[in-house]
Amino acid sequence: MTSRTSRELPSSPVSEAGDYTNLSASGLVRTGPAKLLGIFVASASGATIKVWDQTSAAVPVVVNTFVPSAGVFYPMPCKLQTGLYVTLSGTVDCTVFWEPRQI
């Protein structure tokens, strides 16, 4: 049997875990500093999603409007300063994965 050092091991994806908030309408996910991990879209029909670093739909925009597909996880690794607000249009059921952070 051959052993391998950590330097020789194949790299693997990083798995992050955090809090979650399920949304089917626009809403405030977190007030205060946060780390956005991503959004899983369970269902979508004529839907759009937009993400803000704010406690309402006000600048700055983190991820501008995009059209999601059902059954897809969208990784969005970023640090937010003020809050995490998500705008949804159309029919969409999604789960936002995030974690609080200290500044």
Domain boundaries, the chain: 19-100
pTM of the shown model:
0.84
pLDDT of residue 1: 47
The whole-number pLDDT of residue 17 equals 84
pLDDT at residue 25, rounded to an integer: 98
Mean pLDDT by 10 residues, the chain (103 residues): 49 72 98 97 98 97 98 96 98 97 85
Dist. CA 42–CA 28, nearest whole Å: 19
19-100: CATH topology is Jelly Rolls (2.60.120)
Residue 5 has what pLDDT? Answer: 47
Give the per-residue pLDDT at 7: 55
Q: Count CB atoms within 10 A of the CB of residue 60.
A: 10
Confidence (pLDDT) at 4: 44
